[in-house]
Amino acid sequence: MTQSTGKPKTVKLVENDSKLAGKRNKASLPKPQLTKPSAKPQLTTTKTLSTRPTKINRGRKNKTITKSKEKKRKKDNKTQKPKEKKEEVATPTHFPYFMDNYCPPECACYGRVVQCSDKGVDRVPYGIPYNARYILLMNNHIDSIQLDLLNEYVSMEFLVMSNNRLTDGTIEGAFEGVPALKRLYLDRNLLKSVPTDLPVSLEELRLDNNQLGVMSEAAWARCPGLLVLSLSNNSLGNGSESLPNAVLSPLCNLRTLNLDHNQLTSVPQGLPLSIKELYLKGNLIGQFPAFSTLKNLEHLGLARNKIFKVAIGAFRTLPVLHQLDLCHNTLRQVPRQLPQGLHSVALSNNKIQSVPRDAFCWGDKKQREQDIKPHPACEPVRRTDRVVVLFSFIRMNPGGFLPKMHQELGNIRKFAHLVKI
For residues 396 and 415, what is the distance between their CA atoms, to the nearest angstrom? 19
Count Cβ atoms within 10 A of the Cβ of residue 393 and give its class: 0-12 exposed, 13-18 middle, 19 or more buried.
Answer: buried
CB atoms within 10 A of CB 342: 21
For residues 146 and 144, what is the distance between their CA atoms, to the nearest angstrom? 6
Confidence tier at 419 by pLDDT (50, 70, 90): very low
- The DSSP secondary structure of 30-87, one letter per residue, reads --HHHHPPPSS----HHHHHHHHHHHHHHHHHHHHHHHHHHHHHHHHHHHHHHHHHHH
Q: Is 147 within the bounds of a domain?
A: no
Q: Is 301 within the bounds of a domain?
A: no
Q: How many domains does the chain have?
A: 1
Asked if residue 124 has pLDDT above 70, the reply is: yes
Q: Is 349 within the bounds of a domain?
A: yes
pLDDT in the model for residue 399: 52
For residues 72 and 89, what is the distance between their CA atoms, to the nearest angstrom? 27
Q: Which residues contact 231 (CB under 8 A, 6 or more apart)?
A: 207, 208, 212, 257, 258, 259, 262
Q: Is 126 within the bounds of a domain?
A: no
Q: pLDDT by residue (tens digit) across 183-233?
A: 999 999 999 999 999 999 999 999 999 999 988 888 899 999 999 999 999
376: phi then psi, degrees, rounded to nearest 5: -55, -30
Mean pLDDT of 275-288: 95
Q: Is 345 within the bounds of a domain?
A: yes
Q: Is 208 within the bounds of a domain?
A: no
Q: Which residues contact 196 (CB under 8 A, 6 or more apart)?
A: 216, 218, 219, 222
Q: Which domain holds residue 345?
A: 319-363+376-420
For residues 411 and 404, what is the distance between their CA atoms, to the nearest angstrom? 12
Q: pLDDT by residue (tens digit) across 129-165?
A: 999 999 999 999 999 998 889 999 999 999 999 999 9
Q: Is 112 within the bounds of a domain?
A: no
Q: How far apart are the first and last CA of the chain?
A: 157
Task: Give the H or E element holding residue 218.
Answer: helix 217-220
List the beta bridge partners of residue 159.
135, 184
More confident residue, 69 or 83: 69
Q: Is 250 within the bounds of a domain?
A: no
If we measure between CA atoms, which residue out of 301, 305, 307 comes closest to residue 276?
301
Count Cβ atoms within 10 A of the Cβ of residue 169 and give its class: 0-12 exposed, 13-18 middle, 19 or more buried.
Answer: exposed
Average pLDDT, the chain: 77
